[in-house]
Chain A
């Protein structure tokens, strides 16, 4: 089974802090994603990565950055945390190899509930 592991289930930080959320997958997946989930809004894509050292902005990248130095690890960084970044953050990964198309499902971690005070 695919395993996507997020480093923390719950995290409390203060306004202005630099916050790191870590995600590791164990299936050699090329694509990795960071979403935030807010009530009524579903999941919104923050950033994704096609492969190592590659990244693309999603729908709501402002206030965030990402790092993917190794294939299995995708980090989300809040440069200067603000209260409106209090949310549930979900990491996902997916295989994408030639011939397998874009329809492979994404596999999600358990989420990190982040509170910014």
Chain B
């Protein structure tokens, strides 16, 4: 069975602060995919990043960065110099590697509020 835990249900920061969203997962699979999605108030989930389990290289995309640590089963997401437009619910998700249905297991989500 797979499980994704996002322990932070809600985070509030002031604009320009850095913020890290935690994601811890459990799986018996040796190979898998991890994802982050953003859900702004409009409701649509927007895909941010995919990481496969055999690539532990961290990734940076503008103000966003992701830290994948297989040893601790964590895939944390950091926003540097946060902006009001970053306010959203963020979901971490896990998928088996060889799965035709790409069945995603989602965490409970973290609501990020960035105040001006």
Binding site for B on A (CB under 8 A): 9, 31, 40-45, 48, 50, 56, 58, 88, 90, 92, 94, 96, 101-111, 113
Contact = CB atoms under 8 A, between A and B. Distances in A.
A106 B45 CA distance: 9
The B interface, classified by DSSP as helix, strand, loop or mixed, is: loop
Interface string B30-46: 00010101000011111
Interface of B: 4, 6, 9, 33, 35, 37, 42-47, 50, 52, 91, 93, 95-104, 106-109
Nearest to A2: B47
Given A40-B9, A40-B108, A42-B108, A105 B101 contact: no
Given A42-B108, A108-B44, A31 B95 contact: no
A103 B92 CA distance: 14
Given A43-B91, A45-B104, A111 B43 contact: yes
Nearest to B91: A42
A92 B35 CA distance: 15
A48 B96 CA distance: 16
B115 to A, nearest CB: 21
B102 A42 contact: no
B107 A42 contact: yes
A42 B106 CA distance: 6
A48 B99 CA distance: 13
A94 B91 CA distance: 18
Contact of B101 (A56, A108, A110): A56
Given A88-B43, A103-B95, A109-B44, 12 more contacts: A31-B101, A40-B109, A42-B4, A42-B107, A42-B109, A43-B93, A101-B97, A102-B100, A104-B102, A108-B37, A108-B44, A108-B46
Contacts of A56: 101
A102 B109 contact: no
Contact of A96 (B4, B102, B104, B109): B102
- Which of B6, B107, B108 gathers the greatest number of chain A CB atoms within 10 Å? B108
A70 to B, nearest CB: 19
